[in-house]
A and B are shown apart, each in its own frame.
Chain A
Amino acid sequence: MTAAVSVRELSRTFRRGRRSAAVQALRGVSLSIEPGETLGVVGESGCGKSTLARLIARLDEPTTGTIEILGDDVTHMHGQELRQLRRSVQMVFQDPYASLNPRRRVGTAVEEVLKVHKLADSPAGRAERVDELLGLVGLDPGLASRYPTELSGGQRQRVGIARALAIEPSIVIFDESVSSLDVSVQAEIINLMVALREQLDLTYVFISHDLGVVRHIADRIAVMYVGTIQELGTWTQVSDDPVHPYTRALLDAVPHMRLDDQAGPQETPVLGEIPNPADPPTGCAFHPRCPHATALCSEERPALRAVADRLVACHLAAEFVEQ
C-alpha cells in the first residue's frame, strides 16, 4: 500500500541575516503515515513540530530531504502542481480568530475556497455545497450569514474545519487546532474530528503540545525534541510505556488529577531548560538534561532504531528495556 505521507531525512534551516546563527528547526526527520491513520506529533517549543506540519502541507520547502504525498514526490513542487497538491493536503490552524477574515461572512469564507479551486460551477451549486459543508461540521446553515465575531470559539474552529474539508482532501493536518479552546469546547471539537475521520476516510496529522489530547486521538505518536524524533510508536506504547528518557520526562511533567489525599504532589520530572534550536547540543539533544547521560550521549547523535516494537533515538534504549 502506498503511504499517505512519507518524509525522509527532512531538514529545515532558517537563516536570519549573515551575523545571527542559523536556526535548525528540523534536523533529519523520517517517518511515514498510512492512509486512514492518525499520527500524533507532540513536543515542546522549538521541537520542530509546526515546521514539520508546514513542510508536509508544502507551505514551506525543506532545506534537504524528500516529501512524498500519496506516492508522488512533492518536495520541490510549485505553481499549478502545488495548487493540485492542496486538494489532497489541507491544514487547520490553531487560532480560528486569526485565520478567518473578520469582515467576511462565514458562508463567503467557505465559498471562497470552492471558487479558488473551481469546484461547483454555479452560484447556486456553491451555496448548496456551503450548506452541506456547514452541516457536515455540525453548524446550522443559518450561520452562513454571520460574521466570525458573532460566533463562539468552537463554532469558529468548525468553520476552519469546513474550509479545509471543502475541497475533499484525503490528508488533514491539525496544528494545535484545539489548544486555545476551553475544555468543554475542546471536547466537542475532538469528537467532531474523530467522527469526520471515520465518515470521510481521512488521514490525520495531529500536532499538539498536549499529550493528553494527542493520546485520545492518535493511532501512533511521534515525540519530538529540538528538531528530531526521539520516540515513535503506538499511542499506548508511547503514552503508557515510554522508553526514551525525554518521553518519560514529558509524561511525568503532565499534571495528573490528584484524587487521593494520601498521594503526595508530583515530583519535578526534569531540570534545565529547553535548548536553543540555533545552538543545539552536540550528540543527543536531550543529554544536558538527561539523568542517565553518558560520555557517548554528548558525542554521537543516536539514530532512530527499533527497540521494543517501536522506534527510539537513545544510546541506552536497550538497557532501559531490559530493566
Chain B
Amino acid sequence: MTAGPVLRLEGLTTSISVGGEVRHLVQDVTLDIEPGEKVGFVGESGSGKSITMLSIMGLLPPNVAVTSGSAVVAGVELAGLAERDYQRIRGSRLAMVYQDPMSALNPVMRIGAQIAEGLRAHGAEGPQADETVRRVLGDVGIPDPQRIAKSYPHQLSGGMRQRVMIAMALAMEPELIIFDEPTTALDVTIQAQILTLVRELHAAKNTAIVWVTHDLALVSNLVDRIVVMYGGRIVEQGPVVDVLTSPRHRYTAALLSAFPERHSQVRDRLAQIPGGPPSLDDVQTGCPFRTRCVHAIESCDAMPAVEAGEPSHSYSCWVPIKVAS
C-alpha cells in the first residue's frame, strides 16, 4: 500500500458550462483522507457534496468537468486522466455505493454475474471470480450466497440490494469506498442494519470510507470526521463531536438548530434559516451563506480564509461562533 493519504484533494473546482457561461458547482475543495479513516460529507441539496464525489470517480455528466485543482488517489492524479486509465482505478482502488441500488444494478443480469463482471474486467479468472463472489456476498451478511448469486435484482428487498452493492464495492478490496446517501431510500430499521454492517466491515478491513448524507445524526454514529459543505464549498470540518457540540461556522450552527429535538419535553418553534440555498445564477464570490446569514458583515463579500480552530477543526467564516474557554 502506498504511504500517505488515500485521497488528496487540492483546490478541486468542478464547473458546468451553460450557454457558454461557466458556473462553479464545487469550488476550491481541499482535504486529505488517511488510510482507514471514516469521513462524513454533510450538506443540503445543491451543496456540491455529490458533485465532489462524482468528480473523484470521474463520472461527471458531459457538460460538467473538473476545471482546476487536483484529486490524487493512491498516488495517481485523477484530474485529466484518460478513461482507459480511470477504468483501472475504479473498482480496484476506489469504489462507490449509490443511493438507489435498483438503478445501479442491471435488472436483467443475475447478481453473481454482475459482481463477477467487474472482477473479470480487472483480470480475475472464472473459478477464482466465482469464489470471490460467494465470499463477498457472505461478508455483507447475505444468508444464502449461492442462491442470491443466482437471483435477479428485483427478487431482492431494498436492504438486500444495498448489501449486494456493498459486496460489489468490496470485491476488489479498494483503499477507499464512497457511499453516496446509501440508506436514504431504506426504512429506518433496515438503515440501522446497513450502518452496523458498514461499521463491522470497516473494523475487519480498515478500508477508508467517505459517507455522503444530509443526515447529521446518522453520520455521527459512523464517522470520525465531518465535512460540512454549502454552496459548493467546504465551510467547516473537524472531529464529529467537536463539530456537533461546538460548531464554529454560522451555517453549521443554523443547520443543527433546525433539527426537531428528539428528547425535549417542550416543543418550541423550530429554528428557521431564512431564504433558500444559493442557485447557479447567484454571484459566486464571497461566503456562499452570507445572503441567509443573520450575522453577515461587509467582509463576507470576500471568501474568508480557512481558519484552524482546535487541532484538526477548521472553518471559513469572518464572524465565527466564539468558543467558551
Binding site for B on A (CB under 8 A): 44-45, 152-154, 182-188, 190-191, 194, 209, 211-213, 215-217, 236, 240, 249-250, 252-261, 265-271, 273-274
Contact = CB atoms under 8 A, between A and B. Distances in A.
B258 A187 contact: yes
Contacts of B270: 187-188, 190-191, 216
Nearest to A44: B187
Interface stretch (B7-15, B113-121, B123-131, B215-223): B215-223
Interface in B1-54: 44-45
B188 A215 contact: no
Interface size class on chain B is: 35 or more
B221 A190 contact: no
A258 B262 CA distance: 12
Given A215-B262, A258-B220, A265-B199, A194 B188 contact: no
Nearest to B251: A184
Interface in B214-256: 214-218, 220-222, 240-241, 244-245, 254-255
Given A45-B187, A191-B272, A258 B244 contact: yes
Contacts of B199: 265
B267 interface: yes
A211 to B, nearest CB: 8
7 contacts: A44-B187, A184-B254, A188-B272, A215-B260, A250-B188, A266-B192, A273-B157
Contacts of B241: 258-261
B262 A212 contact: yes
Interface of B: 44-45, 157-160, 187-193, 195-196, 199, 214-218, 220-222, 240-241, 244-245, 254-255, 258-263, 265, 267, 269-273, 276-277
Contacts of A211: 188
Given A252-B192, A257-B216, 20 more contacts: A183-B214, A183-B259, A185-B276, A187-B258, A191-B269, A194-B269, A211-B188, A212-B259, A253-B191, A255-B218, A256-B262, A258-B240, A259-B244, A266-B221, A268-B192, A268-B195, A269-B192, A270-B189, A273-B159, A274-B157
A236 B265 contact: yes
Contact of B276 (A152, A253, A259, A268): A152
Leading 7 A-B pairs by shortest Cβ distance: A44-B187, A187-B270, A182-B44, A216-B260, A184-B273, A258-B220, A253-B192
A266 B219 CA distance: 11
B192 A182 contact: no
A323 to B, nearest CB: 22
Contacts of B261: 216
A184 B258 contact: yes
Contacts of B214: 182-183
Max chain B Cβ within 10 angstroms of own Cβ: one of A152, A194, A266, A274:
A266
A152 B273 CA distance: 14
B222 A216 contact: no
A154 B190 CA distance: 29
Contacts of B221: 255-256, 258, 265-266
A44 B192 CA distance: 13
Of the candidates B157, B159, B263, B270, the one having the most CB atoms from chain A within 10 angstroms of its own CB is: B270
Contacts of A258: 217, 220-221, 240-241, 244
Given A182-B214, A256-B217, A257-B220, A187 B189 contact: no
Contacts of A216: 260-261, 267, 270
Contacts of B258: 183-184, 186-187
A253 B189 contact: yes
Nearest to A216: B260
A253 B158 CA distance: 17
Contacts of A267: 196
A274 B189 contact: yes
Contacts of B159: 273
Given A191-B269, A266-B221, A253 B188 contact: yes
Contacts of B158: 45
B193 A268 contact: yes
A182 to B, nearest CB: 4
Contacts of B276: 152, 154, 185
Nearest to B189: A253
A42 to B, nearest CB: 10
Contacts of B215: 255
Contacts of B217: 254-258
Contacts of A184: 44, 254-255, 258, 272-273
A271 B194 CA distance: 11
A257 B244 contact: yes
Given A183-B44, A255-B215, A259-B241, A274 B187 contact: yes
A207 to B, nearest CB: 15
B33 to A, nearest CB: 20
Contact of B260 (A154, A212, A261): A212
Contacts of B157: 273-274
Contact of A249 (B45, B189, B196): B189
